[in-house]
Amino acid sequence: MSNRQHFARRRCGIGIIAIIAVIALFGAASAFALDISLPPDTAAYRSSDLPGYQLVQQNCVLCHSAHYPQMQPGTSPRGYWEATVKKMKKPFGAQFADEEIPAMVDYLVKTYGAERPAAAALR
Ligand code: HEC
C-alpha cells in the first residue's frame, strides 16, 4: 500500500468515528431532555368592597390571573386602566358588557393604580 492510500483509509476511519460520536451525543442529549415546570399562574384579585371586584372575578380570570394588573406601574392613571380594559374586550376578545367597564376600571385604579390609598400617601 502506498503512503497516500494508507493516509486516506485512516482519515475515513476517523470520519466514521466522528459520525458515531455525534449520533451518540444526540442520543445522550435527548435522554437528558429538560423538564421545565412553571409555577401555576394563580394570582388572585385583591379583595375589595368595590363593586368592580366581583366583576373582575367574573370577567378577567378566563385568560390570565391577576398577575398582569399587579405588574402594572402603581402610578397608572384611570385612563390607562380604561384603555387596558377596553383592549381586553377588543381586540383580545374578552366577553363583558360595556356597562361593566366603569366599575372594573374604578376597582383597578383604586387597587393597582394611581388612586390606591398607598399611592395617595406618597403624593
Ligand atoms: C380574552 C382573554 C382575556 C381576558 C378575558 C382578559 N384579558 Fe387581560 N390580557 C389578555 C392578553 C392576550 C394580554 C396580553 C398578553 C401579552 O401581551 O403577553 C392581556 C394583558 C393584560 C394586562 C397587561 C397589560 C397589557 O396592556 O397588556 C393587563 C393589566 C390585563 N390584561 C388586565 C385584564 C383585566 C383587568 C381584565 C378584565 C377586565 C382582563 N385582562 C381580561 C387577554 C385577556
Model pTM?
A: 0.75
What is the C-alpha to C-alpha distance for residues 93 and 80, in angstroms, rounded to an integer?
18
Mutate to test the pocket of ligand 1, among 88, 95, 100 (most ligand atoms within 8 A of CB): 88
17 Cβ inside 6 Å of ligand 1: no
Q: At 105, is the pLDDT very low, low, confident or very high (cuts 50, 70, 90)?
A: very high
What is the predicted pLDDT for the residue at 37? 86
Q: Of all atoms in ligand 1, which is nearest to the CA of residue 93? A: 1
105 Cβ inside 6 Å of ligand 1: no
- Find the range with the poorest average confidence among 74-78, 89-93, 115-119: 115-119
CA 25 remoteness from chain centre: 33
Is pLDDT at 66 greater than 70 in this prediction? yes
Mean pLDDT of all residues in 55-84: 96
Is pLDDT at 39 greater than 70 in this prediction? yes
What is the C-alpha to C-alpha distance for residues 65 and 44, in angstroms, rounded to an integer?
6
CA 81 remoteness from chain centre: 20
103 Cβ inside 6 Å of ligand 1: no
Of 36, 77, 84, which is closest to residue 60 (Cα–Cα)?
84
The three three-digit cell numbers of residue 13, written as one number: 476511519
